[in-house]
Structure 1
Amino acid sequence: MDVFLQRLSLEYAEQLLEFEVENRIFFEKMVPGRGDQYYKKDTFLTFLSELLGEQDRGEGQYYLILSKDKTILGRINLFNVKENPYFSADIGYRIGQKYLRSGIASKSVEMLMRKLKAKYNQLNISAKTTSHNYGSKKILEKNGFVLDEVEVGGAKLEDETFDFHFYSWRNV
């Protein structure tokens, strides 16, 4: 499937909220939940505006993963962005449940990393996932990320505890 990255904007606010609501239960099995308020339109728009402010200030780079027909397939984000003395950020992504196992996440990480490598000579990109998120670990490793650390029992999802796995991609 052909995908492209679209910089986050208010243009996609309603479609993005629908995507988040549709995938909430699935996402909360893999990452800590955002709470009920997040999914209410006014709160969501406030949250989105805050992200856009961070993006405008250079503190984050937020993208939608879109199909050719502009359907939101997922999101990929760079947050905690710093550009001195080299580019560093944390990367995170989420793919809608019905688009899993189609290579979208791996392709999106590859596209974003290619964009960063073309713009910056030195990179330090960090990622974290849970021990039971085998797909995410595979995607990171396929894209050259290396496991740096495991935080035993660091993630609590529903009534279960999982380890956090911390990865990095560096050329500094």
Structure 2
Amino acid sequence: MITLELLTMDDRERLFCFEKENKYFFESMVPPRPETYNTKDTFNKVIEQLIDEQNRKKSYFYLIMNNQDDLVGRLNITDINNECGNIGYRIGENYCGQGLASKALKQFLLTTPDLPLKCLKAKTTNHNISSQRVLEKNQFYIVKEDDQAFLFNKHYVHFIHFQWDRG
């Protein structure tokens, strides 16, 4: 079982450790975080900014926790505009392959009907099959595939764009 917890200032240390421990793993699938994520002082300022966005209902940042109260991942809704937002998620390397991203996304969709979101958009690369499956399992559908490929970790990849609509 997992739970989603809205990000608070109390989560800074735990989240900093999570990001640092999984930095190279995440960078094997997605572009690197900004340098501000690499030192505690600047990371804390980033978290303050994220919580400010959250308080203004422009974004929502969740920690994915397991039964042992371990931080296993993150789920973020950003750039909320006209009742639509962008969703992203990441699961720590030690917790992959357990279906946690699918469960977290499903839980988010089922437990947040009060959020003013009628649609969610997501994008992933064509080589990130597990992320595509997470989206498809949760009724996201492909809206387009980019024609332009780009070099990422010595491979040419392109983005696939997904969308989910509240029924």
User: What is the TM-score when the length of structure 1 is the normalising length?
Assistant: 0.90
Partners of 1:168 and 1:51 in 2: how far apart? Answer: 23
Identify the match of residue 114 of structure 1 among 103, 110, 113: 110
Give matches, 1:26-65, under 5 Å: 26-65=25-64
Residues 92-146 of structure 1, C-alpha deviations (whole Å, 9 max, x = no match): 0000011011011000000111123x32686111001111111000010010000
- The answer to whether the Cα contact below 8 Å between 1:89 and 1:125 also exists between their aligned partners in 2 is yes
What is aligned with 1:105? Answer: 101
1:70 aligns with 69
Alpha-carbon spacing, 1:71–1:161, altered in 2? closer, same or farther (3 Å): same
Matches within 5 A, 1:151-162: 151-162=146-157
Residues in 2 aligned to 1:120 and 1:79: alpha-carbon distance in whole angstroms: 13
Partners of 2:85 and 2:117 within 8 A in 1: no
Is 1:136 aligned to residue 131 of structure 2? yes
Structure 2 CA distance for aligned equivalents of residues 36 and 121 of structure 1 = 32
Distance 1:168 1:124 in 2: 7
Task: Tell me the matched-pair count.
Answer: 167
Distance 1:57 1:135, change over 3 A: same
| 2:3 equivalent to 1:4 | yes
**Aligned mate of 1:149, from 133, 144, 148:** 144
Would you identify which runs of 4 or more consecutive aligned residues in structure 1 move more than 2 Å?
Answer: 118-122, 152-161
**Structure 1: gaps of 5 or more residues:** none
Tell me if the contact between 1:63 and 1:76 (Cα under 8 Å) persists in the aligned partners. Answer: yes
Take 1:127 and 1:55, find their aligned partners in 2: how far apart are those partners? Answer: 19
In the aligned structure 2, how far is the partner of 1:68 from the partner of 1:167? 30
1:90 to 82, 86, 89: 86
Contact 1:75 1:93 (C-alpha < 8 Å) held by counterparts: yes
Q: TM-score, normalised by structure 2?
A: 0.92
Check 1:154–1:58 CA distance in 2 against 1; reply closer, same or farther (3 A cut).
farther
Structure 2 unpaired stretches of 5+: none
Q: Secondary structure of the equivalent of 1:105?
A: helix
Contact 2:63 2:73 in 1 (8 A): yes
- The one-letter code sitting in structure 1 at the alignment partner of 2:152 is L
Which SS does the other structure have where 1:167 is aligned? strand
CA distance in 1, matches of 2:133, 2:146: 18
Separation (CA, whole Å) in 2 of partners of 1:44 and 1:30: 21
